[in-house]
Amino acid sequence: MKWIKYRIKTVTEAEDILISNLYDIGLEGAQIEDKVPLTALEKEQMFVDILPEVENDDDVAYLSCFVEASDEVNKEEILENIKAVLEETKEYMEIGEGSVEVSETEDVDWINNWKQYFHQFYIDDLLVIPSWEEVKPEDKDKKILHIDPGTAFGTGMHETTQLCIRSIKKYLTPETVLLDVGTGSGILSIVSLMYGAKSAVGTDLDPCAPPACYENMEVNGVDTSKFKVMIGNIISDKAVQDEVGYGCYDIVVANILADVLEPLTPVIINQMKPGAVYITSGIINTKEEEVADCIRSNGLEILHIDHQGEWVGITARKNA
């Protein structure tokens, strides 16, 4: 089997945004090459003894995405879609050169090889652990989220997910009914239920989301009757809005990019109860004020703004 490789030259600051935008057009399993020094956590998780020698960071990054080569795949059409993503992203942030190299590579297990670097880690008192690792005796009594890395959805390691989890835990009660917009693998809803939420509803555009969510529910012993997952665009689809329901959620969480949060916010306030909490992340720091202004302009009171790395989480309340 052969793969078509699209290698984009960009800058390190644009890595996360570009990967997310490329996922939106159906590309998965992005490979990153840069010279950014490893954090202490990355060193602990990726290398046991000897760290590799790297050159000084020059702010250049290469992102590679792979598509299985076949007669049905239009290589040039994909290239044009990638170029369109690059041009769109250029409108609001620096992406560097933005050139694209196209090549073919022989079959390698590029989806699974990187999993050797994913090890258990903590989000405060929550232990996140993949299926191939054992829970240590001293961790038996902790809250434990069992999840494996995949190509389409996250594992909880990303700063935006952690920002959301910390805010959810702060406002969660045994009576909480939670709406998780862009649920993906269901991590935020599942964690909410693990910490005692009454029930959760998740929405997503990706048809892979429900099976991923239900698989993670099963692995973590979550009652499937407490978490409903549906496919559809809650921003524009009235039928989805109706099915989700109005004025019935204590917490709405949306770990989505800023450009989606802005059209989402004036819609989603209709799903929130008076006094409900709106937890948002996926906001790059350069978009903080823009999203905060959007949240305020829709009548919500900002409770706190949190930062982790270059990412921002904004938590607000609907007071009426």
Q: What's the CA gap between 295 and 283, in Å, rounded?
A: 13
Beta strand pairing call for 249-255 and 272-284: parallel
Q: What's the CA gap between 297 and 53, in Å, rounded?
A: 49
Radius of gyration of the chain from Cα atoms? 20
Q: In whole angstroms, how far apart are CA 35 and each of 13, 48, 62, 229, 288?
A: 12, 20, 10, 39, 27
Q: Is 108:141 a contact under the CB 8 Å cutoff? A: no
Which pLDDT score is estimated for 164? 94
- Residue in the structure block whose two tokens are 């969480």: 253
Which pLDDT score is estimated for 153? 52
Segments in the chain below pLDDT 50: 39-54, 151-152
* Residue 98 token pair: 């933005």
Q: In whole angstroms, how far apart are CA 112 and each of 109, 151, 157?
A: 6, 9, 17
Which pLDDT score is estimated for 117? 60
Q: What is the pLDDT of residues 96-145, one digit of tens each?
A: 999 999 998 766 565 556 556 667 788 888 888 887 788 888 888 888 88
Which pLDDT score is estimated for 109? 60
Q: Is 30:5 a contact under the CB 8 Å cutoff? A: no
pTM for the full predicted model: 0.66
**How long a stretch of residues is the chain?**
320
Q: What's the CA gap between 209 and 32, in Å, rounded?
A: 24
